[in-house]
Structure 1
């Protein structure tokens, strides 16, 4: 996937980079099927209230990871190039697991929702973390934050575009969870696995793209430090 026509220094470029990655790892449609099973004993108003709260919390988790993750790692001396390579590897490895064995991911998510079936205050834990936006989503968001431009004037458009992508993913979580029964009837388990593999492949491509930009950054720094 080539993002060069729309650099990440532009708002649209940042959005088009961040939205597919966050949508792929969160997978609101696939997660809605498991949410429907886990919330089967709850009333419709309860499920709608939970869906709205989960969407809001998911936005806060993704936004915090996007805005702060890269800077926190930089504080500990991790360069942008190294952060991009490491983040891209995490994204690619995560995507490879989702691509090759989506059933294992489904089983893990089902286990994460077990405690939500008998408790009332479950919107943040476990239904937001780790079910909807767990370590995988946070690591992807941090990897995306490593793509921020180094120029001061371009940083704000990047974070605005990435934040809009996080907001749209959160809205889709809210809508898909609210309509989880209809999503279940429309897709079913087989359709959800096909969708999971498609978005996992997209996420793998994005991970490779992040690695490539990190390698390019590191090579450029090496050539500057060792001219000739």
Structure 2
């Protein structure tokens, strides 16, 4: 059985005090981590206070990004080893906003995936499906090439330390969520790609999330899909009451 994940991504929102107040409101009402993982990604400045505030609780505090070097003259970047030593054991990589706004390429994301794994982090690797591709009749099939590039040269024993998040950029922050059947198709294609790369057994163990205007109205349908193992929520994770409804769907 693949353990489901409910993950929130705050992006560049909340002060440190607001972040700590948020986790204080939810940390005692979360599912048993043996049944479902609860993950919350926050701006780097808030990570250490959040880790301290959630010690001994099921909530896993997560970074929204990292660099592919452990140390050096890389002003403004965050080292994966520093994240791990601070008690942060997950990191989101390749989010569509990083790709679009900061010009991150699949080659760079691949370097980050390797570095995160070497540091002991669990990478949550995002892959996109653009409206332009959909309009051109490509649907979600091109997502396969992105998986091949982002996971290039990954050792078989490390593949299931990675979580994949399928996130159509046209649905992120727009309120226009992908139909659950289409979301399932995208996640199925990702799983089949992993099977082609690493075999059926590895693919069956891979956890794949859906992200893109997830809310309390569609979470149950998404979570009922065979190849969707969880969600990556953006705006819906900013309110503690709403986030708890997603978590305890």
TM-score by length of 2: 0.23
The structure whose Rg is larger is: 1
Higher relative helix content: 1
Q: 1 or 2 for the larger relative contact order (CA 8 Å, sep ≥6)?
A: 1
TM-score by structure 1 length?
Answer: 0.25
